Structure 1
């Protein structure tokens, strides 16, 4: 077996030799350009790692069957939690960037045109693999305009593959409990058969009674989200939304713990991405005010639009509008509780 040296293994000659400040090449030294380069190189390395984790998760979720108490689902949750931790690091890197003052940035800013963070093809591909569709993107006119043809091809290929969001929808649709009539034989139902299932009829009645007068419009939303056929622009089906809400409501049962952790980590990913975009937007405003970005975008205004619009798992987050208090939840029948718990047999 050959000996492995630290610097060779990490290819440090390549990494440490990969910084070539434009200000040095033009013999107009700007001290903070080195910081600017290293931070953005670090971002791209972390994007690569996040993509690596997401692709591995997507491969697991592509399986036709996935036991919700299996090591595979635990691996999915573990790796997505790692993604969240990496995204938190990306947010904190802005603290380092903000040690550079606007005047420090102006020392080399005009030397970078038309280079821009908007040309990060890795980040665009990552958004696509998570589930951000083109039609929901802000600034579609800029989306591919600044990229090289080979990078456009990579992003297009990422968009053609089934995204994590789509795979989560399929996984939720496979929840079996509602189609098994024996689970509901002893269920004390109520309501007026509006949904076609005794549990959801009961839940809708209790949800209706929990609303204040100025919240009554939510009832129309309940029909759209959980009964269908749903709006054409929605990415989660009514069946998947029913399963997700059920997981949120009854997450205390052992069988639903891992599924709940999976839904929760998706919301964490959105939260960290949103925080990163927001911090980035404020940093840009601090650095260049209302000036146009080096890549030709509208700078802060473009970033603000992305903050407002680029929520990938928005439809999962919106399900909290339809929760009721734990004490008002319909009591499940003994057979259903046995399905959701770990029953020991002596």
Structure 2
């Protein structure tokens, strides 16, 4: 077995020599162009690592079965938490980028056309793998226009594959606790408010969600009818173009409400980690937008995008797990939650 040398293992000859300054080629050396290149190369390396983590998580969710108390789910949360940590680092790298002043950037900016961060195909693949569909993208008319055909194909392949959001939806839809009516025997409810059909929902589901809505609505101001329509649309009828189905939304809300039970701890951590990913991506876009505004003002980006305006639109619209975040609108105090039957509590405590 041959020995491994640090320099060769990391292929540092390729990495360290991979900074080719356009300003030097034009015989107008700009000191800060080295910083600009190194930071963007570091971003792309981290994008590669994030894709590595996300693809591995997607593989876990594509298994024939994924038990909520299995080591697999712990690995999933661990790798997604690593993704969140890397995204935080990407946000922090903006501090280094911002040491370059607008005048420093203008020394070489025009030499870069039409190169732009907008041409980062890895980032677009990452968004697609997480669950951002083409229909939800801003700037659809030009978001692929500046890319080479081979990179366009990679993005389209990613968009055609099942995403993490798709798989999270399927995972939530198979919530087992409402399929067994026996363990819900003795659960009491008040008047029937939600018109749920027996052929469409189990007895347990109809009893629990009817009682939950009564308690939820009683804590809100306004007409019960308006609250009922809002609740029904979210959890039974389903919203058009929603990332979560009505069934998945019910499961996610149940997990949030009763996360104190051992069986629901890992699922709750998973949902929270997905929200952390969205938050860090949003923070990164916000910092990027402010940096662009501070550096080039209202100018068009080197890649032809509308610069700050495009970044602002992406910040507002490119939330991937927003349907999980909106469930907080339907939470209530723990003290007012419906009391679960003993058999359900035992199932949620790993004692079934």
With the length of structure 1 as denominator, give the TM-score of the two structures: 0.97
Say yes or no: does 1:241 pair with 2:249: yes
Alpha-carbon offset, residue 170 of structure 1? 0.2
Q: What is aligned with 1:277?
A: 285
5+ long unaligned stretches in structure 1: none
**Structure 2 residue corresponding to 1:252, chosen from 260, 280, 285:** 260
Say yes or no: does 1:173 pair with 2:182: no
Alpha-carbon offset, residue 46 of structure 1? 0.3
Say if 1:61 and 1:167, in contact at 8 Å, map to a contact too.
yes
**Structure 1 residue corresponding to 2:231, chosen from 202, 219, 222:** 222
Q: What is aligned with 1:321?
A: 329
Distance 1:133 1:11 in 2: 36
Q: What is aligned with 2:305?
A: 297
Cα deviation digits, residues 259-310 of structure 1 (max 9, x gap) = 0000000000000000000000000000000011001111000000000000
Q: What is aligned with 1:209?
A: 218
Q: What is aligned with 1:72?
A: 72
Q: What is aligned with 2:116?
A: 116
Alpha-carbon offset, residue 329 of structure 1? 0.1
Alpha-carbon offset, residue 204 of structure 1? 0.7
Alpha-carbon offset, residue 338 of structure 1? 0.2
Distance 1:285 1:7 in 2: 39
Q: What is aligned with 1:312?
A: 320
Distance 1:14 1:148 in 2: 23
Alpha-carbon offset, residue 186 of structure 1? 1.7
Q: What is aligned with 1:334?
A: 342
Aligned length: 343
Distance 1:216 1:281 in 2: 42
Distance 2:291 2:14 in 1: 30
Alpha-carbon offset, residue 193 of structure 1? 5.4
Alpha-carbon offset, residue 195 of structure 1? 5.1
Alpha-carbon offset, residue 184 of structure 1? 1.0
Q: What is aligned with 1:139?
A: 139
With the length of structure 2 as denominator, give the TM-score of the two structures: 0.95
Distance 1:122 1:237 in 2: 28
Q: What is aligned with 1:185?
A: 185
Alpha-carbon offset, residue 85 of structure 1? 0.1
Cα deviation digits, residues 101-127 of structure 1 (max 9, x gap) = 000000000000000000000000000
Distance 1:63 1:221 in 2: 35
Say if 2:131 and 2:166, in contact at 8 Å, map to a contact too.
yes
Say if 1:195 and 1:227, in contact at 8 Å, map to a contact too.
no
Change (3 A) 1:4 1:116: same
Change (3 A) 1:193 1:177: farther
Say yes or no: does 1:288 pair with 2:288: no
Distance 2:83 2:144 in 1: 25
Alpha-carbon offset, residue 88 of structure 1? 0.2
Q: What is aligned with 1:200?
A: 209
Alpha-carbon offset, residue 220 of structure 1? 2.3
Alpha-carbon offset, residue 212 of structure 1? 1.8
Q: CA RMSD in A?
A: 1.3
Change (3 A) 1:339 1:129: same
Correspondence 1:27-38 to 2 at 5 A: 27-38=27-38
Say if 2:115 and 2:303, in contact at 8 Å, map to a contact too.
yes
Say if 1:207 and 1:322, in contact at 8 Å, map to a contact too.
yes
Distance 1:195 1:51 in 2: 44
5+ long unaligned stretches in structure 2: 197-205
